[in-house]
């Protein structure tokens, strides 16, 4: 079968390591089950800015070694989410590279570079609206853009004890960035925000009008997401809510809703087994889309639909398309108040809840498992991805520490050794010295200055040395500043003479006309 590289940004970090999210785990395990070998790269520890930024590798990463391992793997296909990848990989490899949209195109890495080389890639579009946006924003031809819907590996379990009324698994999103822009561009941001609330203008026009606001595309796409989620969750919290996600929920809870603060559970849920257990142990799984999901819906929707938890979600055209009009009327809300009423209805009617869940499970089993999705991808790419003998493929996760350059490792070791040495030194030094280190340092600096060349010490003390060790032009010797060559020679002598000697001579020779003035 095929060798496949999966490259993506990681949103969950546990004990210092980025974890494979439920969506990616489901995709990877289904590919392996069909006999494909998978290499996974989580870009956070490799790239300078892995999400909505650049594919430039961090300075500490050994690019040659990383590229070599990917080439040796001999991939038949690379799937990169949001174009978070390794810069230049498309030039080195000859295999197809699919760019799968996890977010809107304005959140892609190196979007402008992607536009210039768009014909090299195939685009998988999660939302129905993404297909048109891919052609309009990226400039991709229609035969390069394909609708590939989300899928899930979650399995329903009706026997599982229901310990939660309502569960929400997700982040609070970009309130921090919104607040930063609000304070930097208060007048413009307020004006923009009111237009977004009124839906006055499209993204491209608003970007041109408010280009002075940093990350304007992302600001427009993220606008209001945190507020919308906070409002809905605050309304339903009294029904028994359990929130899992980033620590940002605690900040939001303290700022605006103690109900949300009280509903927050710090346990990280990211794997297939954890997600499956969380939804199967809850009566209701709530979905609140990010504002960038213009026509589509979150990946969590498929996970909820596949479980024994009933889905309650805000409106999206793509979701209505999947569920049908009748089922949509039962589970879709259009306001926080309606979300509360639908949740209350399901909590009070177990039979209705089970009926909706079974209908939802059937939809997933027919159309949205990962095995079904892989067959669709196989057809698009004309690449064998579905094995007949069912021999499970191999899996390798590339970790950044394996590709850290030797000098970075040495520096890390030096930092650790220096800290240990410092602790030992403090332990054996007299108490008086340790408690007055600032005075000791000052005395040592004076001794150092006394014996060091005068010109260098003067420039250091005046702050005239740049970070790279170069002096400002004003501190450089310039013959045009002197009346004659004799003065220039004497200044050179003074520049290289010990600082202490120059100071002593100045005390002795108080005459202001001295050569050492």
pLDDT digit string, tens, across residues 480-501: 444 455 566 666 676 677 766 7
Sign of the CA dihedral with 304 first, then 306, 312, and 318 last = positive
* Alpha-carbon distance values, 178 to 197, 216, 233 (Å): 14, 10, 20
The whole-number pLDDT of residue 9 equals 93
Confidence of residue 468 (pLDDT cuts 50, 70, 90): very low
Mean local confidence (pLDDT), 26-46:
96
- The percentage of residues in the chain with a pLDDT greater than 70, rounded to a whole number, is 76
The whole-number pLDDT of residue 513 equals 43
Q: Tell me phi and psi for residue 19, to 5 degrees.
A: -105, 155
Mean pLDDT of the chain: 82
Residue among 58, 54, 27, 50 nearest 40 (CA): 27
Confidence of residue 380 (pLDDT cuts 50, 70, 90): very high
The whole-number pLDDT of residue 73 equals 97
The whole-angstrom distance between residue 242's C-alpha and the CA centroid of its chain comes to: 24
The whole-number pLDDT of residue 475 equals 37
Give the integer Cα–Cα distance in Å for 175 and 195: 18
Q: Which of 288-297, 338-347, 437-446, 486-495 has the highest mean pLDDT?
A: 338-347
Q: Which residue has the higher pLDDT, 235 or 206?
A: 235
Parse the chain into domains and list their residue ranges: 3-151+373-407, 164-368, 429-508
The whole-number pLDDT of residue 210 equals 77
The whole-number pLDDT of residue 478 equals 42
Task: Tokens 């919104």: give the residue.
Answer: 178
Confidence of residue 196 (pLDDT cuts 50, 70, 90): confident
Q: Which of 64-73, 202-211, 235-244 has the lowest mean pLDDT?
A: 202-211
Confidence of residue 91 (pLDDT cuts 50, 70, 90): very high
Whether residue 415 is predicted with pLDDT greater than 80 in this model: the reply is no
Residue among 302, 374, 309, 308 nearest 153 (CA): 302
Whether residue 333 is predicted with pLDDT greater than 60 in this model: the reply is yes
pTM score: 0.76
Contact present, 419 and 411 (Cβ < 8 Å): no
The whole-number pLDDT of residue 444 equals 67
Whether residue 97 is predicted with pLDDT greater than 90 in this model: the reply is yes
The whole-number pLDDT of residue 501 equals 73
The whole-number pLDDT of residue 149 equals 95
* Helices and strands (DSSP H and E) totals, the chain: 25, 17
Q: Which residue has the higher pLDDT, 249 or 44?
A: 44
The whole-number pLDDT of residue 464 equals 38
Mean local confidence (pLDDT), 89-110:
91
* Alpha-carbon distance values, 448 to 456, 466, 500 (Å): 12, 20, 9
Write the Ramachandran bin of 236: left for phi over 0, alpha for psi from -120 to 50, otherwise beta: alpha
The whole-angstrom distance between residue 218's C-alpha and the CA centroid of its chain comes to: 13
Mean local confidence (pLDDT), 496-517:
60
The whole-number pLDDT of residue 294 equals 76
Whether residue 359 is predicted with pLDDT greater than 70 in this model: the reply is yes
Mean local confidence (pLDDT), 409-417:
50
Tell me which architecture the domain covering 3-151+373-407 has in CATH: 3-Layer(aba) Sandwich (3.40)
Whether residue 152 is predicted with pLDDT greater than 70 in this model: the reply is yes
Residue among 501, 482, 499 nearest 491 (CA): 482
| Number of residues assigned to the chain | 517
The whole-number pLDDT of residue 154 equals 97
User: 3-state class of 99 per DSSP?
Assistant: strand
Mean local confidence (pLDDT), 175-179:
58
The whole-number pLDDT of residue 374 equals 96
Tell me which architecture the domain covering 164-368 has in CATH: 3-Layer(aba) Sandwich (3.40)
Give the integer Cα–Cα distance in Å for 149 and 146: 10
Contact present, 503 and 493 (Cβ < 8 Å): no
Q: Are strands 37-42 and 395-398 parallel, antiparallel or unpaired?
A: parallel
Confidence of residue 98 (pLDDT cuts 50, 70, 90): very high
Confidence of residue 186 (pLDDT cuts 50, 70, 90): confident
The whole-number pLDDT of residue 105 equals 82
């Amino acid at each position: 079968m095929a060798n496949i590289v999966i490259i993506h940004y990681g949103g969950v970090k546990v004990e210092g390591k980025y974890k494979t999210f439920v969506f990616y785990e489901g995709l990877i395990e289904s590919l392996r089950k069909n006999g494909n070998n998978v290499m996974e790269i989580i870009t956070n520890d490799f790239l300078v800015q892995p999400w909505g930024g650049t594919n430039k590798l961090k300075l500490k990463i050994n690019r040659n070694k990383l590229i070599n391992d990917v080439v040796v793997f001999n991939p038949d296909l690379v799937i990169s989410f949001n174009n978070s990848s390794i810069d230049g990989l498309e030039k080195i490899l000859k295999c197809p590279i699919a760019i799968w949209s996890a977010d809107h195109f304005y959140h892609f890495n190196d979007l402008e570079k992607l536009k210039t080389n768009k014909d090299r890639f195939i685009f998988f579009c999660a939302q129905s609206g993404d297909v048109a946006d891919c052609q309009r924003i990226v400039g991709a031809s229609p035969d390069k853009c394909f609708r590939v819907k989300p899928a899930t590996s979650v399995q329903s379990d009706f026997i599982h004890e229901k310990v939660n009324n309502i569960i929400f698994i997700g982040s609070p999103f970009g309130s921090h960035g919104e607040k930063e822009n609000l304070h930097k561009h208060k007048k413009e941001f307020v004006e923009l925000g009111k237009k977004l609330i009124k839906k006055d203008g499209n993204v491209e026009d608003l970007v041109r009008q408010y280009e002075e606001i940093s990350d304007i595309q992302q600001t427009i796409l993220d606008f209001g997401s945190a507020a919308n989620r906070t409002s809905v969750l605050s309304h339903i919290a009294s029904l028994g809510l359990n929130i899992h996600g980033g620590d940002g929920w605690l900040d939001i809870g303290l700022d605006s809703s103690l109900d949300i603060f009280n509903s927050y559970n710090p346990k990280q849920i990211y794997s297939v087994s954890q997600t499956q257990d969380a939804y199967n142990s809850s009566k209701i799984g709530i979905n609140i889309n990010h504002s960038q999901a213009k026509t589509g819906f979150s990946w969590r929707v498929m996970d909820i639909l596949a479980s024994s938890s009933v889905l309650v979600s805000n409106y999206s055209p793509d979701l209505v398309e999947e569920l049908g009009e009748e089922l949509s009327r039962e589970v879709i809300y259009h306001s926080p108040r309606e979300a509360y009423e639908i949740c209350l209805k399901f909590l009070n009617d177990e039979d209705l809840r089970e009926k909706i869940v079974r209908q939802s499970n059937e939809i997933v089993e027919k159309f949205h498992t990962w095995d079904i999705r892989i067959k669709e991808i196989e057809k698009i790419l004309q690449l064998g991805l579905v094995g007949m003998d069912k021999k499970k493929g191999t899996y390798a996760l590339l970790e950044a520490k394996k590709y850290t350059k030797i000098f970075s490792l040495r520096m890390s070791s030096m930092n650790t050794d220096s800290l240990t040495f410092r602790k030992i030194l403090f332990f054996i030094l007299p108490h008086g010295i340790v408690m007055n280190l600032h005075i000791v340092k000052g005395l040592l600096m004076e001794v150092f200055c006394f014996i060091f060349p005068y010109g260098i010490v003067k420039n250091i003390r005046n702050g005239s040395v740049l970070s790279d060790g170069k002096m400002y032009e004003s501190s450089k010797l310039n013959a045009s500043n002197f009346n004659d060559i004799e003065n220039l020679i004497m200044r050179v002598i003074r520049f290289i003479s010990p600082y202490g000697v120059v100071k002593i001579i100045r005390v002795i020779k108080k005459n202001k006309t001295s050569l050492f003035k």
